[in-house]
Structure 1
Amino acid sequence: MLRRADPPDPSGRLLSIRGGQVHAHVQGTGPDLVLIHGAGGNLRDFTFHLVGRLAPRYRVIAFDRPGLGHSTPLHENGESPIEQAAVLAEAAELLEVKDAILVGHSYGGAVAMAWALNHPANVAGLVSLAGALMPWKGGLGAWYQIAASGIGGAVVVPLVAALVPRRLAAPVLDKIFAPQHPPAGYAAHLGIELSLRPQALRANVRQVNGLKPHLAAMAPRYPGLSVPIEIVHGTADEIVPIEVHSRPFAARVPSARLTELPGVGHMPHHARPEEAIAAIDRAANRAGRLQPGR
């Protein structure tokens, strides 16, 4: 077993919200751009390289979602996308965010959509990067069912957190990035210990396990979204398949534009960062938020 490392310290501000905290990394100047990470991750997925490339033209605000990274959970039942969006919208108000472009990756795509549906006042546009947007057929694996249960959360999750060798994180990351590979230095930067804490494991499995019915409730409201929406999704994504999520979404939402990336998996902002940045710029331009010459 590899030696345990301490989780990385917060890189940004810890905002007091509803008796807990939300971790926000803020960098750059320009129109407000909010980044929302995917399942089991944290905002360091974006600070690996994307934030630095966007900060010269945007004020980038990357959040740790509730229960993950350095943000505290709201409760022990797995926060819904709607609950998460409400808390992050409150955090954005504390940061005086105005007319933001929201960018959501994977599970973060569902949170971005919930934010736009329920708190539209300061949302100027949306970008989905391999976002989980639509309900799917079937269920999830046995791990999610066991770990999301009361006994599983109390017993199984702490055992996994304590006993799983950290070297197994590499194969997991390989699967998430497949058919591409994680960039050099990504695993160390991400801070895998943040994701393997019992609290974070419990929050993640309960959030993912409960996602489907929330998407089913949100989907009928999607056609009412009128803000510019840009979607970037790889055709080789086996975690959030494009044919289940982004294609049906784009077909029913008039303001959505889908860019398909042939052969790209679940991490388009790492595999093809130029395409992700171009989609963000298109959304900002369509919303009138990108300043000339920036």
Structure 2
Amino acid sequence: MGISVASFVALTLWKASRHEARAARDYPPEGQFLSVDGHRIHAVVLGHGPDLVLIHGASGNTRDYTHDLAHQLARRYRVIVFDRPGLGWSDRINRTGATIRQQAETLARAAAQLGAEKPIVVGQSYGGAVALAWAVHCPRNLSALVLLAAASQTWDGPLPTYYQVLSHRWIGPVAIPFLTAWVHDERVERELDSVFTPQLPPAGYNDHIGAALTLRRPALRANALQRANLNEEIRALRPLYPGIAVPVEMLHGSADMIVGLPVHSEPLARQIPGAHLTVLPGIGHMPQHVCKPQVIAAIDRAASRAGLNLASRNAILH
């Protein structure tokens, strides 16, 4: 019995390592690495124009934006897409789950290394919470804020079991290798489909995003810890929203069942002076893919409100 258990554990660790090696081979870094406080941060830089930072959501990576939107925006912005700490190809910055403030401050320093002292900052879903933390805690290091289906308020209810298990101090490190070893990429791709509900992912998205990157052991752990801590971090951040002084544009789908419009963006529009909320009727959680013209228009409005000069108003073909 003991030998069988030991053999299964050894096989699991071997399969997990093989899965991670395939992920590295099939989905290598798209951009460059910066060193911020001794941690590697992966950044993709495209285009020319006003600086624009894109921050992805939970379980994501740079490929969420480089599938298409970043390339469209690069026609008249200098686009910087980051892997958040612990996800994609960026290092974890601690073992307890980097807070949204720690992530924001790290990415602000990374942007400054690239010469982007005051970029427009765009955040989607969990990345929207990081973008809000950037605006609150690094107010001199951005010119405008654009939020896409952003998590911004506390919510009721327990943490989902999946995150309870993977973020647990002892259970998580035991369970995670089994997921990496035995869960197929196709299962993650099916979950991605559900994130887009009621829309579908665009053609080629699942192949581009790299589900295998999400299943690597460090990414699973970092993502779970960040998600487990988010509600209390937002509780501390929320009272500071009225102090946000940069132009704020918000987009949120009325059919978003993951980060609900009435719970999050509608209250936030009242909490930030001058914030402008665009409601997208019938749209789910991924407007950066299914409503790209509206997202681009919101970024353009933010740039205009911030007094930034766009070289060509017609450079992006909607």
Same fold (TM over 0.5): yes
Q: Does 1:78 align with 2:78?
A: no
Aligned pair in 2 of structure 1 residues 292, 18: CA closer, same or farther (>3 Å)?
A: closer
**Alignment RMSD (CA, Å):** 1.4
After TM superposition, give the deviation of residue 235 of structure 1 in Å: 0.7
**Residue of structure 1 equivalent to 2:142:** 123
Q: What SS is found at the alignment partner of 2:79?
A: strand
**Residue of structure 2 equivalent to 1:14:** 33
Q: What SS is found at the alignment partner of 1:153?
A: helix
Is the CA contact 1:107–1:131 (under 8 Å) kept in the aligned structure 2?
Answer: yes
Structure 2: give runs of 5+ residues left out of the alignment. 1-17, 314-318
- Cα distance in 2 for partners of 1:65, 1:6 equals 18
Range with bigger deviation, 55-64 or 3-12: 3-12
Range with bigger deviation, 254-263 or 59-68: 254-263
Q: 2:241 aligns with which of 197, 215, 222?
A: 222
Q: 1:96 aligns with which of 115, 130, 134?
A: 115
Is the CA contact 2:43–2:83 (under 8 Å) kept in the aligned structure 1?
Answer: yes
After TM superposition, give the deviation of residue 274 of structure 1 in Å: 0.6
Q: What SS is found at the alignment partner of 1:194?
A: helix
- Cα distance in 2 for partners of 1:225, 1:103 equals 15
- Cα distance in 2 for partners of 1:251, 1:53 equals 31
Is the CA contact 1:230–1:280 (under 8 Å) kept in the aligned structure 2?
Answer: yes
Q: Which has the higher helix share?
A: 2
**Residue of structure 1 equivalent to 2:225:** 206
**Residue of structure 2 equivalent to 1:141:** 160
**Residue of structure 1 equivalent to 2:74:** 55
Letter in 1 for 2:193: D
After TM superposition, give the deviation of residue 153 of structure 1 in Å: 2.1
Is the CA contact 1:41–1:69 (under 8 Å) kept in the aligned structure 2?
Answer: yes
Q: 1:151 aligns with which of 170, 174, 178?
A: 170
Letter in 2 for 1:249: L
What fraction of aligned residue pairs are identical, expressed as a percent? 49
After TM superposition, give the deviation of residue 138 of structure 1 in Å: 1.7
Letter in 2 for 1:158: P
**Residue of structure 2 equivalent to 1:28:** 47
- Cα distance in 1 for partners of 2:152, 2:174 equals 32
Q: Does 1:87 align with 2:106?
A: yes
Letter in 2 for 1:73: R
What are the Cα deviations for residues 63-105 of structure 1, in whole angstroms up to 9, with x where unaligned? 0000000000011111110000111111011101032100000
After TM superposition, give the deviation of residue 290 of structure 1 in Å: 3.2
- Cα distance in 2 for partners of 1:156, 1:240 equals 27
Q: What SS is found at the alignment partner of 1:233?
A: strand
Q: What SS is found at the alignment partner of 1:97?
A: coil
What are the Cα deviations for residues 182-206 of structure 1, in whole angstroms up to 9, with x where unaligned? 1111011111111110100000010
Is the CA contact 1:281–1:290 (under 8 Å) kept in the aligned structure 2?
Answer: no
Is the CA contact 2:76–2:311 (under 8 Å) kept in the aligned structure 1?
Answer: no
After TM superposition, give the deviation of residue 152 of structure 1 in Å: 2.3
Q: 2:209 aligns with which of 190, 201, 206?
A: 190
After TM superposition, give the deviation of residue 292 of structure 1 in Å: 5.4
Q: Does 1:160 align with 2:179?
A: yes
**Residue of structure 2 equivalent to 1:235:** 254
Q: Does 1:246 align with 2:269?
A: no
What are the Cα deviations for residues 257-280 of structure 1, in whole angstroms up to 9, with x where unaligned? 100011100001111111111100
Aligned pair in 2 of structure 1 residues 291, 166: CA closer, same or farther (>3 Å)?
A: closer
- Cα distance in 2 for partners of 1:166, 1:46 equals 20
* Ranges of 4+ aligned residues in structure 1 off by more than 3 Å: none
Letter in 1 for 2:128: G
- Cα distance in 2 for partners of 1:270, 1:260 equals 16
Is the CA contact 2:61–2:83 (under 8 Å) kept in the aligned structure 1?
Answer: yes
- Cα distance in 1 for partners of 2:39, 2:149 equals 29
Aligned residues: 293
Q: What SS is found at the alignment partner of 2:81?
A: strand
What are the Cα deviations for residues 40-66 of structure 1, in whole angstroms up to 9, with x where unaligned? 000110000001100011000000000
Is the CA contact 2:189–2:211 (under 8 Å) kept in the aligned structure 1?
Answer: no
Q: Does 1:262 align with 2:281?
A: yes
Larger Rg: 2
Letter in 2 for 1:142: T
